[in-house]
Amino acid sequence: ISECTLHLQAKLYLSIIDDVIESMRELFLDEGIEDRVLDDLRHLWESKMMQSRAMEDFRKNNNNSSNFVLQLPASYAQPEQEIPGKKRVSFTDAGGANTVATFSLPAGLTYPVQIPAGVTLQTASGQLYKVNVPVVVTQAPTGQQPLPCPGPKAPQPQPVQVRVNTASAHAVAPSILSNPTTVALASQTKTNPVPVQEPPPPPPPQLDLDYSALSDIVQLDGAADNSEDDDVTALEENDFLGIINAEAMKALQEGDRSSDGNGFSSSSDSEAAEDELDPLNSGDDVIEQDIPDLFDTDNVIVCQYDKIHRSKNRWKFHLKDGVMTYGGRDYVFSKAVGEAEW
């Protein structure tokens, strides 16, 4: 997609943001809310947009502004700071506004930037992060997760303790984590092995109990029956389809095997029955799983339709005023015409 298009698109988004914020200014004043809150909203909104790849290229064009906004505590406003690890960092308050300082790295200083332990950082959204171990801020290429190690003296990746305001921790943490250009602590947390979700526990014993009770009834006509009646098998499915799961089915089979007193070997029969049951079940399962997953995709186009036309299985779409999100990026159109076969 061309640079020009992206630039226009970013301008469009910014103009929408402007539009909304300015038209809310009067209402906010009427409600007795400080201007600062509206500015906060704008900052939050813009920074989230900047973080998402939707405006990635626009952000790249603005080389002089930093990729993240931090407010440093007053005690940290030292002109220069010697940091072990060879880098000299100075943070200057480029913004001038009291609430948020957008700081830019001085000319000639590039990433990675090291922040020593003990510093408390505050992001634009107001969240406080206390840095307990020295942190390295690197500008990771987009999409790349592992951090390049900046130097021999740099702190090795360790689990970093972060203290956040509990109120909004859940809201902020994901957005920080998803941004590859924020402080390294976030990326480090990302590379640390995530605790693996335990496999779902086996069904509680009482389920087995239900089944042994039911299997007593079922087995009279069911798997243990010599005639292998399909109808009965089908009946069994239909009745219990809502509660059958794989493990319960096993329990059922085991119940058949153990409580069968007819004398002929039930194991082969139940296995045969199991073979019959499995294909029947799995056919249903596939269809069921398809539907919720089918509509679950990240690539979405939100638009309006002028005309939708179908002839046999050929569909024609006339769409307008749409926004498409694909691969984290946004595309906008005033008209879209398409064809598809069903």
Residues that bind other proteins (CB under 8 A): 1-2, 5, 12-13, 15-17, 19-20, 23-24, 27-28, 31, 33, 37, 40-41, 44-45, 48-49, 52, 54, 125-126, 167-168, 171-172, 175, 294-295, 297, 299-306, 308, 315, 317, 319-326, 330-342
Query: What's the min distance (Å) between Cβ of 164 and other proteins?
Result: 13
How far is residue 87's CA from residue 94's CA, in Å, rounded to a whole number? 20
Q: Residue 268 in contact with residue 276, Cβ under 8 Å?
A: no
Q: Residue 138 in contact with residue 155, Cβ under 8 Å?
A: no
Question: Which residue number, 88 or 314, has a Cβ lying nearer to other proteins?
Answer: 314
3-class DSSP assignment, residue 258: helix
Bridge partners (DSSP) of residue 318 are: 307, 337
User: How far, in Å, are 8, 9, 330, 333 from residue 1 at the CA level?
Assistant: 12, 11, 11, 13
User: How far, in Å, are 147, 182, 232 from residue 53 at the CA level?
Assistant: 19, 14, 56
Query: What's the min distance (Å) between Cβ of 136 and other proteins?
Result: 27
Question: Which residue number, 162 or 319, has a Cβ lying nearer to other proteins?
Answer: 319
Report the relative pairing of strands 120-123 and 81-82 from DSSP bridges.
unpaired
Query: What's the min distance (Å) between Cβ of 84 and other proteins?
Result: 35
Question: Which residue number, 169 or 234, has a Cβ lying nearer to other proteins?
Answer: 169
Residues 6+ apart with CB under 8 A from 7: 57, 58, 61
CA dihedral (147, 149, 154, 159) positive or negative: positive
Question: Which residue number, 236 or 330, has a Cβ lying nearer to other proteins?
Answer: 330
User: How far, in Å, are 189, 190, 191, 198, 199 from residue 195 at the CA level?
Assistant: 11, 11, 12, 9, 12
- DSSP state, residue 89: E
Question: Which residue number, 47 or 138, has a Cβ lying nearer to other proteins?
Answer: 47
Query: What's the min distance (Å) between Cβ of 296 and other proteins?
Result: 9
Query: What's the min distance (Å) between Cβ of 309 and other proteins?
Result: 12
Query: What's the min distance (Å) between Cβ of 305 and other proteins?
Result: 4
Peptide bond into 159 cis (omega under 30): no
Question: Which residue number, 130 or 314, has a Cβ lying nearer to other proteins?
Answer: 314
Query: What's the min distance (Å) between Cβ of 257 and other proteins?
Result: 43
> Tokens 């153990």 label which residue?
258
Question: Which residue number, 168 or 192, has a Cβ lying nearer to other proteins?
Answer: 168
Q: What are the two backbone dihedrals, phi and then psi, of residue 95, each rounded to the nearest 5 degrees?
A: -75, -50
- Which of 228, 306, 229 is closest to 268 using CA atoms? 228
Query: What's the min distance (Å) between Cβ of 222 and other proteins?
Result: 37
Question: Which residue number, 159 or 338, has a Cβ lying nearer to other proteins?
Answer: 338
Query: What's the min distance (Å) between Cβ of 279 and other proteins?
Result: 25
- CA angle 18/22/27 to nearest 5° reads 145
- CA angle 63/18/48 to nearest 5° reads 55
Question: Which residue number, 56 or 210, has a Cβ lying nearer to other proteins?
Answer: 56
